[in-house]
Every structure is written in C-alpha cells, then in structure tokens.
C-alpha cells in the first residue's frame, strides 16, 4: 500500500526533529489529517496493526535500536583493527559484515519506531474525533 509507505516516511521525518513525543504526534496528526481521508487512515491503521506483531524482539529493537546494534559495530571495528594490524583479509569480511548488520538493525529499529509513532497518532486521532 502506497499510503502506508508514505505515512511511514512522514513519521520518520518527524522522528528526525528534536521535540517531545506529544509535539511529534501533534504535528503528525495535522499532516495526516490534511493528506489522508478517514478511509485511507483506517486502512493504513489496519495494515499497520497486522504488520506490527507484538513480540519481545520488535519491542527491544524499537526502544533500544542503538544498544542492539552496538555489538555489531564492535565486530566491525575489531575486524578492521585485526585486518590492519595482523594483515588478515578475513578481518575485512568481519568488518563489512558487522557494518552491514549494524546498519540493518538501526534501520529496522527506525522503521519500527516510526510505525509505533503512527499507531499512537492514529489512536489520538480516534480519541479526538469521538
């Protein structure tokens, strides 16, 4: 669904700004209210709820994405250090794998955080409209 992807991008843009969660939700609520109809919002919310399966790994990555990615950054740094100091080409593979893993985890956490912000915004829109 193109609307959901567009909503996630809007939420990611709001996450970049340094402000409180309430302010982010307020700004996001205005943008969603102006851009999407009620039927589109409800369809996006239903799809988002179907995608967001509540498990401990999703919750951990959404709340602590940098902490979860930290071991992978360590592997990347250690692999780079070993490849340079010991002249081992295998260390470069560890560095590349650690970097790719860390970036993928942080990107996944960022998307999960944006989706959670969207769900909170949808809940606020529903409470304000009732």
Supply the DSSP symbol for 37: -
Residue 107 or residue 32, greater confidence: 107
- % of the chain surpassing 70 pLDDT: 98
Q: Whole domain around residue 62: which residue ranges? A: 2-129
Asked if pLDDT for residue 96 goes beyond 90, the answer is yes
Tell me whether residue 90 is exposed, middle or buried, using C-beta atoms within 10 angstroms of its C-beta: 0 to 12, 13 to 18, 19 or more: exposed
User: How many domains does the chain fold into?
Assistant: 1
* pTM of the predicted model as reported, rounded to 2 decimal places: 0.82
Whole-angstrom CA distances from 127 to 24, 40, 85, 123, 130 are: 17, 17, 60, 6, 5
What confidence score (pLDDT) does residue 73 get? 95
**How far, in whole angstroms, is CA 100 from its chain's centroid?**
16
């Amino acid at each position: 669904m193109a609307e959901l992807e567009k909503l996630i991008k809007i939420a990611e843009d709001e996450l970049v700004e340094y402000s409180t969660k309430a302010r982010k939700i307020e700004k996001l609520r205005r943008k969603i209210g102006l851009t999407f109809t009620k039927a589109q919002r409800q369809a996006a919310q239903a799809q988002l709820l179907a995608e967001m399966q509540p498990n401990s790994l999703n919750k951990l990555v959404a709340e602590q994405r940098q902490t979860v990615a930290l071991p992978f950054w360590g592997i990347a740094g250690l692999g780079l250090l070993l490849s340079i100091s010991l002249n081992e080409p295998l260390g470069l593979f560890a560095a590349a794998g650690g970097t790719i893993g860390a970036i993928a985890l942080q990107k996944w956490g960022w998307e999960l955080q944006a989706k959670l912000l969207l769900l909170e915004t949808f809940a606020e829109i529903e409470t304000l409209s009732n």
